[in-house]
Structure 1
Amino acid sequence: MTSPRTLRLATAQLPVSGDARINGHNVRAAMRHAAAGGARLIHFPEGVLSGYAKNPIQDWAEVDWAVVRGELDAVTALARDLGLWVALGSAHSLTPPRWPHNSVYVISDGGEIVTRYDKRRCSYTEVTRFYTPGHAPTVFEVDGWRFGCVICVEINFPLLFIEYDRLGVDAVLLSTYPVDSIFLVKARAYAAIHNVWISVSSVTETDHLFRSGVIDPRGEIVAEVPGAHGVVIHTLDRAAPELDIALTKARPWRASVETDPRYDTRKLDDPRSTDRTCR
């Protein structure tokens, strides 16, 4: 059993086609690679199993949901065989005529879907043509480590990251099909502000923008997928000396400020404070 101090996390960058059979094959190959490298959890991009709407999916009529579910079953079976946790991006079909959720399935090392994150802040195009938004955060635990999930354009909504900070996550899994390179800068900022690890799992098709990988609680990129199609494995370590300030000082101090009476000076009776025109 992995020590609670550390956890081996795999981050994947894969191509996304409109054929769930091809996607499922690539996902399972990445899972085997991750397990061989000692990973406990592998994180995948947005829409990697079903195919992502707009590119390559233009209409949900193109998708054979029975095939998607069959590939998902094959992924859960392999997760059980490998003893590997999986965070898997895919559309999740709803009752017709509702559009699907844009989701991340969380699959345990026993091969069970233990929860699912449904993208809450879908883009304008998504919400008008393709997806039904979700409405709740998702937190799950692996070996005493707490993970939260967000998807793509949600990088532009700070309240989602604030919420996960307050829920006490150690790391955020960010599954994406990005449209610009500033995306990674935003992810680094959230990691440093909230002192959490962020795994950014993107697709091969956007490799020209940035490379998938892991950002540490200082906001530093500490691992990158070695090529446009591949997996990187990184050990998250709560006791790493370079993370001491971020994890044992900065994060708890920031969490304490709202309730620390020393910062509440609304009743300060000092004319030199209340007069904002004085010299």
Structure 2
Amino acid sequence: MARVITAATCQFPVSADISANLEWMVSFIRKAGEKSCDVVHFPECCLSGYASVDFKTWKNFDWALLSEAAEKVSKAAEENEIYVIYGTSRQNETGEKPFNSLVVIDKAGCTLSVYDKCFCTPKGIQFYQPGTEYVKYEINGVVCSSLVCYDLRFPEVYRKLKSMGVECIFQSFYNARQRKASVHTDIMRQTMQCRAATNYFWVSMTNSSAPISPYPSAFIRPDGKIEAQLQFDKPGMMINKIDTSQQYYDASGPFRQIAMNGRLNNA
């Protein structure tokens, strides 16, 4: 039996203005609901803004406003009967630095999954506490996982998720508000294509559209092909289908498991 997810991948100019971020998100949630999508996917720290870029200190950060905004996101998910995957900053109960988190809200408005970014950049780690655990959850029977931006630099993470039975990755990024174009234009989508193809993953990757953003949001098939992408530096939403009944080229498929088991030849 085919397991299908209709996914809306969205981008907008994420900023330090929580209320403005929320307005963008609720608008896209409604649009995705009107299109009968199963899930709507947003960028890294899209609700809170991204520490170190959108704001330079946690001093006077309005956690109460962020909490209220998160409740409104959950309410919008419930009202539109749609899963919502979004990035935010999350207070750490130990009193250490906050987490950079990707939250999954189900169609009833309840929290299904919270992933705390495990690999923070050298700059990001000054503001965020790295997480320690990876997650998996199901949407329409498809086994999914969440990752955040810099995680893509570590192929071992994707092998771990493959060993957990994951089929689809929702990965949120924040590469924006740069002074000029960077090498990320040439390597980030391409790296995600590699992660998809070598592990046979569906991938929804979404990025902030605040200029200058070096790459737009993209949707990638399990063979590594970019099926669709949004425009540079412009807000937008695209709708794609994750359909597990579709078969794609999987070059490493016959020998992937033996390599994962530590045997690095197929003699």
1:45-84 to 2 correspondence within 5 Å? 45-84=43-82
1:39-118 to 2 correspondence within 5 Å? 39-95=37-93, 97-118=95-116
Change (3 A) 1:206 1:119: farther
Q: CA deviation at 1:254?
A: 2.0
User: Which residue of structure 2 aligns with residue 229 of structure 1?
Assistant: 235
Q: Aligned residues: percent identity?
A: 26
For each residue in 1:148-195, what CA deviation from the matched residue of structure 2 results, as whole angstroms up to 9, or x when unmatched?
111111111111111111111111111011362211110011111001
Indicate whether 1:212 and 2:209 are aligned: no
Runs of 4+ displaced beyond 6 Å: none
Distance 2:194 2:208 in 1: 21
Does the CA contact (< 8 Å) of 2:6 and 2:241 recur in 1? yes
The letter of the residue matching 1:230 is G
1:1-279 to 2 correspondence within 5 Å? 4-95=2-93, 97-127=95-125, 129-178=126-175, 180-181=184-185, 182-205=187-210, 208-225=213-230, 228-240=234-246, 243-246=247-250, 250-251=252-253, 253-255=255-257
What SS does the aligned partner of 1:61 have? coil
What SS does the aligned partner of 1:188 have? helix
Q: CA deviation at 1:251?
A: 3.4
Does the CA contact (< 8 Å) of 2:6 and 2:240 recur in 1? yes
Q: CA deviation at 1:212?
A: 0.4
15-24 or 224-233: bigger deviation: 224-233
Q: CA deviation at 1:66?
A: 0.5
Distance 2:170 2:97 in 1: 24
Which structure carries more helix by proportion? 1
Give the alignment's TM-score, normalised by structure 1.
0.85
The letter of the residue matching 1:73 is E
Give the alignment's TM-score, normalised by structure 2.
0.89
Distance 1:259 1:105 in 2: 31
The letter of the residue matching 2:223 is R
Q: What runs of 5+ residues in structure 1 fail to find an aligned partner?
A: 266-279
The letter of the residue matching 1:223 is A
User: Which residue of structure 2 aligns with residue 274 of structure 1?
Assistant: none
Distance 2:7 2:266 in 1: 41
What SS does the aligned partner of 1:218 have? coil
Change (3 A) 1:162 1:44: same
Residue-pair matches, total: 257
User: Which residue of structure 1 aligns with residue 179 of structure 2?
Assistant: none
Distance 2:248 2:44 in 1: 32
Does the CA contact (< 8 Å) of 2:86 and 2:103 recur in 1? yes
Distance 1:260 1:71 in 2: 46
Q: What runs of 5+ residues in structure 2 fail to find an aligned partner?
A: 176-181
93-102 or 66-75: bigger deviation: 93-102
The letter of the residue matching 1:107 is I
Does the CA contact (< 8 Å) of 2:205 and 2:218 recur in 1? yes
Distance 1:207 1:5 in 2: 37
